[in-house]
Amino acid sequence: MNQREKEQYLREYMALKAAGKPFFPYAVAKDSLMAVVVMAAIITMSLVLGAELGPKADPTTTTYTPRPEWYFFFLFELLKVIKPAELVPLATIGVPTICMILLFLLPFYDRSPERRPERRPIATAAGIFTICAMGFLTYKGAEAGPPTQIDMPTPAAVTAQGPAFVAQYNKGKQVVAQSGCEACHKFGQNGNDGPGPPLTQIAKNLPKQAIARTLVNPTAPMPSFGALQQNDPAKFNAMVTFLSQLK
Amino acid sequence: MPKLKLPAPPLPPGFPKPAPKRPGTPKQKPLEVAAEAGISVVDWVDERTSLSGGARWMMFRKVPKGTNWFYTLGSATMFAFLSQAVTGVFLAIYYRPDASGGAYESMRHVNDDVFLGEFVHGMHKWGSSVMVILIFLHMARTFFFGAYKYPRELNWIIGVVLLILTMAMAFTGYLLPFDQRSYWATIVGVNINGTGPLVGPYLSDFLRAGPEFGATTLSRFYAIHMMLIPGIIGALIGAHLYLVAKLGTTAPPWQKLPASAIDAEERA
Ligand code: HEM
């Protein structure tokens, strides 16, 4: 907006303001009614939905679901959309940071004096697109709860090593299934494809020791299983056995 | 002593105006005595602070023609924030930021034993969702109405900071009950922060209070959640509202100029 447009805006605004009504009581009445609605909504939600606590936090456990509050789902889903490992930092903080910078600077790059949405097609379209994208990602995040089942046939190479090994393999499969790995990794037909890489054939790329090391010192955002290794080595080893048979 | 004069209430047209008092009628009704006492107190404070000018400036400014229900979303957000502040104080009375189980036990105690405890806890929990929804709606309103344009750019920027701080409140609050869900979600969340460029690793080290998730992490989250960020949000809401009153709220973009103003425009 140049100086002339600024002055014109202020002139028109003054006229509209002069034709308006005092904030008290007219706007205050509307605001108060809205406040009552907000309060009623909060009270109703509290009464209907309650505030149940889950089981107590246990850093050594293996049965958890890393699930954020629903309004962060869209960020989590963003991680899944962007696959290649070298682009993950971009998805996690890069895209949100860029969006934040774009938001901050909005008044500086959108300098036209026009205010009617239908005469600002780019801004309006971008706004609607952002709302739809966030809505869609939130919906996807809400829908995709982390599954806790892995259905995969036991490979012949495992059966060949005797029933003790099969038992170890099945125990590991169960631990993995209960540990929320599927929130981020795919195992055959199970689990979410991302943000983490699919693990269906992980043993082809990583030897057993490397798998164990990754579990203890994972790449962020994956949580570490170091505590499990110390507190319950049997469970940890079963996990590694199972993963090292995924070829 | 200067006497404060109450403004005449704006009555709709056609409403009979109350007859002015005859000079010399003695004041005696209790209601009038009470009103008189109230005015005296306000007067006493005002003589020493001159606050009434500011209050009048805030309350009796005009809002433009065409102001509609979409303009209540900002104050609704503020109201949700106030509700969070009040219910938060009640929770803080019972809460112990003790990672070795005390935190969880104290919230159990609130839910199970404290009078209306689960109700207030629920209001705080669901109030956060309501506030997040309202802040996004308010932002969408100001965006689509072009309210971020001259001369309100700074108010938009303060708003974006408020949005980030509100999301940070949601994130730090989620850990506090210290159940399985909140514990593991926060670990993943902090790790996600850590993958960010440049400041990412420092930010997650700061949040965790070290490279590992430890006992001080919880008290750190608690201090951030109940003192640091709410203080900044309160101050910024003050600045936001000051600018709203100073600049005036926008008229809806479709609002037609009153005929008299168009004439003046053409003459100019
Ligand atoms: C804690 C959060 C916030 C509170 C309590 C708040 C409160 C308010 C209030 C009461 C108004 C007066 C007009 C109205 O209600 O629409 C207002 C106006 C405004 N707000 Fe906010 N707001 C918040 C967050 C935001 C955010 C996130 C943005 C945008 C990024 C924003 C941008 C604006 C702008 C540009 C105006 C001027 C609107 C106009 O003049 O029409 N605010 N805010």
Quick check: is B254 in a domain? no
Quick check: is B83 in a domain? yes
pTM: 0.85
B67/A27 Cβ within 8 A: yes
> Which pLDDT score is estimated for A218?
86
Residue A35 and residue B79 in contact, taking contact as beta carbons nearer than 8 Å: yes
Quick check: is B146 in a domain? yes
For B157-188, what is each residue's pLDDT tens digit?
999 999 999 999 999 999 999 988 888 888 87
Residue B2 pLDDT > 60: no
Structure tokens given for A6: 């600024």
B181/A50 Cβ within 8 A: no
Least trusted range by pLDDT, from A132-141, A211-220, B2-11, B93-102: B2-11
Quick check: is B64 in a domain? no
For residue A22, the cross-strand partners are B62
Report the pLDDT averaged over residues B241-251: 95
Residue B152 and residue A10 in contact, taking contact as beta carbons nearer than 8 Å: no
Q: How far is the CA of A101 from the centre of ligand 1 (A)?
A: 18
> Which pLDDT score is estimated for B172?
94
Structure tokens given for A119: 């005469």
- Dihedral sign (CA B96, B98, B104, B108): negative
Q: How far is A44 from chain B (nearest CA, A)?
A: 9
Nearest C-alpha neighbor of A71 from the set B194, B218, B110, B169: B169
Quick check: is B45 in a domain? no
Nearest C-alpha neighbor of A91 from the set A78, A100, A103: A78
Q: Residue B230: give its domain's CATH number.
A: 1.20.810.10
Domains assigned to chain A: 1-52 (no CATH), 156-244 (1.10.760.10)
Domain extent at residue B104: 71-247
Among residues 56-115 of chain A, which lie with CB inside 8 Å of chain B?
A: 56-59, 61, 63-72, 75, 79, 88-89, 92-94, 97, 100, 103-104, 106-108, 110, 113-115
Tell how far CA B120 is from the center of its chain.
19
Residue B155 pLDDT > 80: yes
Report the pLDDT averaged over residues B245-263: 85
Q: How far is the CA of A158 from the centre of ligand 1 (A)?
A: 62
> Which pLDDT score is estimated for B85?
97
Give ipTM to 2 decimals. Answer: 0.87
Quick check: is B31 in a domain? no
Q: Which residue has the higher pLDDT, A90 or B150?
A: B150
Quick check: is B107 in a domain? yes
3-state secondary structure of B95: coil
Quick check: is B54 in a domain? no
Q: In what helix (H) or strand (E) does residue A190 lie, and over which residues does it extend?
A: strand A190-191
Strands A21-22, B62-63: pairing is: antiparallel
Structure tokens given for A153: 């046939």
How many angstroms separate the CA atoms of B113 and A228, rounded? 34
Q: Taking chain B, what is the end-to-end CA distance rounded to the nearest angstrom?
A: 47
Number of independent structural domains in chain B: 1
Identity at B34, one-letter amino acid code: A
How many angstroms separate the CA atoms of B186 and B171, rounded? 8
A66/B149 Cβ within 8 A: no
> Which pLDDT score is estimated for B77?
98
How many angstroms separate the CA atoms of B24 and A245, rounded? 102
Highest mean pLDDT among B45-49, B55-59, B68-72: B68-72
Q: How far is B30 from chain A (nearest CA, A)?
A: 26
How many angstroms separate the CA atoms of B61 and B59, rounded? 6
- Dihedral sign (CA A44, A48, A49, A51): positive
Rg (CA), chain A: 27
Residue B20 pLDDT > 60: yes
Q: In what helix (H) or strand (E) does residue B84 lie, and over which residues does it extend?
A: helix B73-94
> Which pLDDT score is estimated for B167?
94
Residue A180 and residue A146 in contact, taking contact as beta carbons nearer than 8 Å: yes
> Which stretches of chain A drop beneath a pLDDT of 70?
60-66, 80, 82-86, 88-93, 144-149
- Cβ B81 under 6 angstroms from ligand 1: yes
